Amino acid sequence: MTDISVLYEDGEALVIDKPAGLPIERPRRGGASLEDHVEALKLGFQRAPVAVHRLDTDTSGCLLLARNPKALKRFNAAFQDKLVGKTYLGIVAGAVQDDEGSIDLALKKISSKERGWRMIVARAGKPSITHWTKRAELQGGLTLVEFRPETGRTHQIRVHAEHAFGYALLGDPVYGHKDARVGRTMLHASALVVERPGKPDITAQAPLPEDFARLGAG
């Protein structure tokens, strides 16, 4: 058995609620990863499921797994064809003034010896669009925001939040700073919808994590 919750299951797909702090791939330095759970996630199938997309190690919530190579190919095509709807909840480390909006800022990956690699806003970067809606003003000057990325760039929501609001996500050590109130970057993949021509959509919702609820986001 695995202690990872399964949010959706059929013959070609699983959607799991990935815990915060669990990397999808084994870190170079070793340690726990999703790979430790794939045998248990077979759930009676011969093949171990494979992650279709990526979530940052700190990010919790909906992660799509393919149960066979044909499904993996189909789901990869669905992401490329923008047939996948992803919804995230994030806690911004400051006040967000407007109620909703869209962020259209191209992103580029850079690396330096001092800071390692990170994403930056750059004209020469890849097009990146995130739609957002303010959900609640929380105590301590924090803001709960729903993010709906139209594109899927690495660290997209994290960089877009910092540039659009002037505040990074709470606890983000790369684009903001660590915060004693939390133990991670506060981002949660709350819902996932994958369109499948000729078949019912894959739909899943991940419950709000405890660390979000403790800050009044529930």
3-state SS assignment for residue 128: coil
pLDDT at 113: 67
Per-position b or e across 172-190, b if 16+ CB within 10 A of its CB = bebbbeebeebebbbbbbb
Global pTM value = 0.94
| pLDDT, tens digit, 9 for 90 and up, residues 143-197 | 999 999 999 999 999 999 999 999 999 999 999 999 999 999 999 999 999 999 8
pLDDT of residue 2: 59
What residues are labeled active site?
56
Contact by Cβ (8 Å): 169, 91: yes
**Under 8 Å between Cβ of 64 and 51:** yes
Residue with tokens 């990010």: 59
| pLDDT < 70 regions, the chain | 1-2, 113-115
Sign of CA dihedral 169, 174, 175, 177: positive
Torsion sign (Cα): 87, 90, 92, 96: positive
User: Could you tell me the domains of the chain?
Assistant: 6-214 (3.30.2350.10)
Q: Which residues contact 167 (CB under 8 A, 6 or more apart)?
A: 92, 93, 94, 95, 96, 161, 176
